[in-house]
């Protein structure tokens, strides 16, 4: 069943590139909670459209709904690449509302927030199977990249034959190790950056144009 | 799975053979796993799930999480991924090599202590 769906999806993807050359590609920003997905989405949106996508936060699951910024035109070497950026909630297999209580929240708020978070993750998984044309996978290079969720997600993305770019974020931190990410996922190209400081964004945009243009 | 334990007796482990899972639809597999895990059992799959089934497992798990009752799952497989070296043709022809032992348990009862290419070590506590 999965194979048929895959085949159908690849055909419809191929058809859509054939028939509507100018349609923006929908690029999903995935990765674990707190990796800097929203910070990156906001930076891309601000650099090329002038406004942001959504709030960034050290509280996990700040982004509880997939947020979209449409028609982001990125210019590289005189060529224009148009993408829709989809900032997704961090994918996880568990959500415990009591963790939000540690961030000074009342129980009602924490429960509501965790419910929204679970809905958001379910939605993000659905998007990944049905609605994205490419993936930017963001990892916090100061933490261990070798987690089950990362391995599983990257496996899911590969099985959909989606182009994927791995971004090693937070290189401004002392504990950052880009090599650790390269070792964990040698089958993909890894680009270092600091979404917060704006370091190495030129290479990020070059690669976005190359992979998704 | 057959209900043979008393509530405080210990932790039930279900080892499910690849053969048993083979004949089932994706949603049936996911139901068996989540029903087991929600009963507090550790479910071990001889041959694991396909990436598509893993993605559905995450999605269904999310829809079933509810405060003070079910926090979700912990899932571990060996990190070695063979799909990367496979051609698209192999996958279309059904030569998908995703057979990897997979351990799934309730998030609030199982904690992974160590994991590498050849060893998964987990701590399981009673409910
Ligand atoms: N040091 C550092 N912090 C970052 C960077 N990018 C994001 N952050 C911080 O990491 C936290 C999580 O960021 P956010 O974008 O909300 O992560 P998300 O959950 O993946 O969307 C916030 O406190 C950000 O300010 C970075 O490049 N360097
Ligand atoms: Mg976010």
Q: What is the average pLDDT score of chain B?
A: 84
In a domain, B1, yes or no: no
pLDDT of residue B6: 58
Torsion of CA A22, A53, A146, A148, to 10 degrees: -90
ipTM above 0.90, yes or no: no
Of A121, A156, A161, the CB nearest to B88: A161
Task: Find the CATH number of the domain harbouring A43.
Answer: 3.40.50.300
Q: Which atom of ligand 1 is nearest to the CA of A199?
A: 27
Rounded to whole angstroms, the Cα distance separating B43 from B13 reads 6
Q: What is the pLDDT of residues A2-45, one digit of tens each?
A: 566 666 666 666 655 554 556 889 999 999 999 999 999 999 99
Residue A187 to residue B84, Cβ atoms within 8 A: yes
Residue B71 to residue A96, Cβ atoms within 8 A: yes
In a domain, B40, yes or no: yes
Rounded to whole angstroms, the Cα distance separating A97 from A115 reads 8
Q: What is the average pLDDT score of chain A?
A: 89
In a domain, B107, yes or no: yes
* Overall domain count for chain A: 1
Q: What is the pLDDT of residues A158-194, one digit of tens each?
A: 999 999 999 999 999 999 999 999 999 999 999 999 9
In a domain, A4, yes or no: no
* Overall domain count for chain B: 1
In a domain, B2, yes or no: no
In a domain, B55, yes or no: yes
Nearest C-alpha of chain B: how many angstroms from A113? 11
In a domain, B4, yes or no: no
Contact list in B for residue A2 (CB cut-off 8 A) is 26, 50-53
pLDDT of residue A21: 54
Better-predicted residue by pLDDT, A24 or B33 = B33
Chain A contact for B121, CB < 8 A?
Answer: no
pLDDT of residue B1: 54
In a domain, A3, yes or no: no
State which residues form the domain around A191. 26-212
Q: Is the beta carbon of A43 within 6 A of some atom in ligand 1?
A: no
How would you class B28 by CB atoms within 10 Å of its CB: exposed for 0-12, middle for 13-18, buried for 19 or more? Answer: exposed
Q: What is the pLDDT of residues B76-102, one digit of tens each?
A: 987 654 544 555 555 555 445 567 899
Strands B102-106, B73-77: pairing kind: antiparallel
In a domain, B21, yes or no: yes
Q: What is the pLDDT of residues A58-75, one digit of tens each?
A: 888 888 887 888 899 999
In a domain, A8, yes or no: no
State which residues form the domain around B42. 13-124
Task: Find the CATH number of the domain harbouring B108.
Answer: 3.30.950
pLDDT of residue B56: 96
In a domain, B5, yes or no: no
Residue of B nearest to A99 (CA): B71
């Amino acid at each position: 069943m999965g194979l048929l769906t895959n085949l159908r999806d690849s055909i419809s993807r191929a058809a859509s590139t054939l028939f509507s050359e100018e349609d923006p590609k929908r690029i999903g920003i995935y990765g674990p909670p707190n990796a800097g997905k929203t910070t990156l989405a906001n930076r891309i949106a601000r650099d090329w459209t002038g406004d942001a996508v959504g709030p960034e936060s050290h509280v996990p699951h700040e982004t509880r709904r997939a947020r979209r910024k449409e028609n982001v035109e990125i210019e590289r070497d005189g060529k224009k690449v148009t993408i829709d950026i989809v900032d997704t909630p961090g994918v996880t297999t568990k959500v415990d509302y009591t963790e939000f209580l540690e961030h000074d929240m009342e129980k009602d708020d924490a429960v509501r927030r965790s419910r929204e978070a679970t809905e958001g993750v379910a939605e993000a998984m659905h998007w990944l199977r049905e609605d994205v044309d490419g993936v930017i996978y963001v990892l916090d290079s100061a933490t261990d990249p070798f987690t089950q969720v990362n391995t599983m997600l990257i496996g899911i993305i590969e099985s959909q034959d989606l182009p994927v770019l791995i971004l090693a974020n937070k290189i401004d931190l002392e504990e950052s190790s880009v090599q650790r990410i390269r070792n964990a996922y040698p089958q993909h190209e890894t680009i270092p950056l600091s979404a917060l400081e704006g370091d190495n964004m030129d290479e990020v945009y070059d690669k976005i144009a190359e992979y998704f243009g | 799975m057959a209900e043979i334990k008393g509530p405080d007796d210990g932790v039930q482990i279900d080892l499910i053979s690849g053969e048993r899972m083979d004949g089932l639809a994706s949603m049936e597999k996911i139901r068996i796993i989540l029903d087991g895990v929600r009963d507090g059992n550790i479910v071990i799959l001889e041959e694991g799930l396909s990436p598509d089934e893993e993605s559905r497992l995450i999605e269904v798990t999310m829809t079933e999480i509810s405060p003070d009752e079910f926090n979700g799952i912990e899932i571990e497989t060996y990190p070695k991924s063979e799909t990367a070296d496979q051609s698209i043709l192999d996958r279309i022809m059904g030569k998908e090599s995703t057979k990897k032992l997979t351990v799934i348990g309730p998030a609030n009862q199982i904690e992974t202590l160590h994991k590498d290419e050849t060893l998964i070590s987990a701590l399981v506590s009673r409910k």
